[in-house]
Structure 1
Amino acid sequence: MLQTATRGLAAILVFGACSGPLLADEGKALNRGHEYMVTTNYPNNLHILDLATDSLYKTCQMPDAFGPGTVQLSPDRTIAYVLNNHYADIYGVELDTCKQVFHASITQQPGEKARSMFSFTVSHDGKELYTVANPTRMLNDRYEVQQPRLDVYATNAGMSAKPVRSFPAPRQLTIMQTGDDGSLYIAGPDIYKVNVQTGKFDVLVPSRHWKRPLYSAPDVLYVWNQQTYRHDFSLLYTAAKFKDKKEDPATADYVYGFFNIDLATGKTKTVDFGPLTEIYFSGMVSPKDPNLVFGVLNRLAKYDIKQKKMLQAATLDHSYYCISFNKAGSKIYLAGTFNDVAIFDAESLKPLGKIKLPGGDMAITTAQVFTR
């Protein structure tokens, strides 16, 4: 992490002078029917890439500070909402003009500081924005951790948005997506289905508390909140699959799998897809072939879900955290860590090139691919 931070600082110093000329492109509107990718990086940039030419289309400068740079798009793909300023604020940026049209501080109560751990998204109709605030009361002689809350904002509230509804929430909540029926799905110790009108949390997919015979509790590390062409919500997990009721870890098979929610129907799946041979930070089912799942961190790998085996892997010149597909499922885009987006052929896993971004590290940004 120290190396990454050092590289990021150096890149900011090198590329900082580039931010001025890019301002001329801020008003360049996106084209209807074209496919784009949006991502963020240090010092505080929002980049839009043209996937027809695999090139940088424009850059918007963001207010305040960077981090984590997680992006969620409005349903009409005109506004990018970004969790930034060290997890403390959500900004809405109009993609055609780079104009900021929304701002909400996660801190809402007097005497508190609050942060959102990647926990925000937009409603299926674009009228509301949801986030989980993790507040701490700042006293003169101590800090007091408070009950997390689910805050609901109106997306037309402008630059000083305040919650229109707030509800108590469980601890350890992270990424979320909304279903077509208006339900909110949030990942935490389990995956919850939430009624955003009443604040009622129901366990939809047991994760930490699953009851799969001869399986250990799953391990989940997943903070890439992607809006996919498959219109689903997925998270990777790893687990031990024991040989018998002795549950001996020395003889267990260690597996990779994913939790999945179909956002159109609300149907869920818990699927093992292959042996645990290495760690992936993010993964995605192919929009072209639902039997193929891909994962990335230090390598890019392709798995056959039915056969539960790795089919191919590609060597990377550095780690990437966030995997994305174009709509056709023919190309893979890798983002996160440094300041380049790598492009691979989805069939052969051969590298097709890179898109270099002005600025420094993307760090743990969530990239989104979309069609205007």
Structure 2
Amino acid sequence: MLQELAEKQARLLAAYCIHAQENETILIQGSTHALPVLEALHREILQRGARPLLKLEFPYQLAEFVNLASDAVLDALAPGAVQEMEGIAGSIRIDAPMPPRKGADPARMQRWGKTLNPLGEIRRQKKWCISLFPTEYAAQSAGMSFEDYQQFVLQAMFLDHADPVQKWGEVRERQTTLIERLSKASEIRILSENTDLTLNVKDRIWANSDGKRNMPSGEVFTGPIETSASGHIFYDLPTLYQGREVQGIHLTFEEGKVVQAHADVGNDVLQAALSTDPGARFLGEIGIGTNYGIQTPSKNILFDEKIGGTVHLAVGSSYPETGGLNKSTIHWDMICDLRSGGEILLDGEVFQRDGVFV
């Protein structure tokens, strides 16, 4: 099944997500553990008349680089890196989750993130997509056998359908109706047992995430007004951030800024991320998951933030197309599960209760 999944996934990424065109240069990045889909992508890009720029990484390469690099290397881009990024038409990144181990020093990781920021800004102005290829570890995290997890990924991307592009079109139409309601709202209030957070989204633009940038997808999102977040929120779904597990994140906001923060597991990672720069303590995104085909948390943000009945808020950089103004070298989506006793209110009216839109 793995090779079949790789071929179908590569076809969808090249034709639908990135829509590679003749003579375009498409950057392809991923771990050697994702080699089947990377090889298939390389072929698909070539067959569409485009030019693949393939960059492979071995497992834990980033941690090794950050820990061993000299200050001069850590704090400066390689010659020609900006020009290379400016020359691409789009990029595809394939994640291949691996077991956490002693990773990069969090403070040095944030320094490297600042160094890479100019490349990220250029990349975000072009076509881009992030996807995932199944690994044994990803299956274990999701509590599934490897075979079941492959089927889970296949179904999450609609690759089990004769026409996946048509299915993603249906997602886009369904989410359009949600955006019509959200666009009329000014205040959003999120409530659950350990959460009471209010923020303002007046005149901000809601984006329809239909698989073009994330595959799989299924969410609507915008950038809240930067100084509006007030209250507290508990992110109960565990995740991996920069190779480290982080669980039980508690954040308190005043005038949009995180003023108190604690994680039950991985608190040092959280504190380092929030100290990256001034924008790291403000929200860059609120997203509402709509993919009810994904219901099992897997410690992977790409999947978990799309779970129907969850909401995620990212500290750090905004997406400019939403009207968001916050700038930071980080963008960390944190996920709050509302499927049992949670609510989303729009200007005081219930929009979602217990994870179901009303």
- Fold conserved between structures, TM > 0.5: no
**What is the TM-score normalised by the length of structure 1?**
0.24
Report the structure, 1 or 2, having the larger helix content: 2
Identify which of structures 1 and 2 has the higher relative contact order when contacts are C-alpha pairs closer than 8 Å and 6+ apart: 1
**What is the TM-score normalised by the length of structure 2?**
0.25
Report the structure, 1 or 2, having the larger strand content: 1
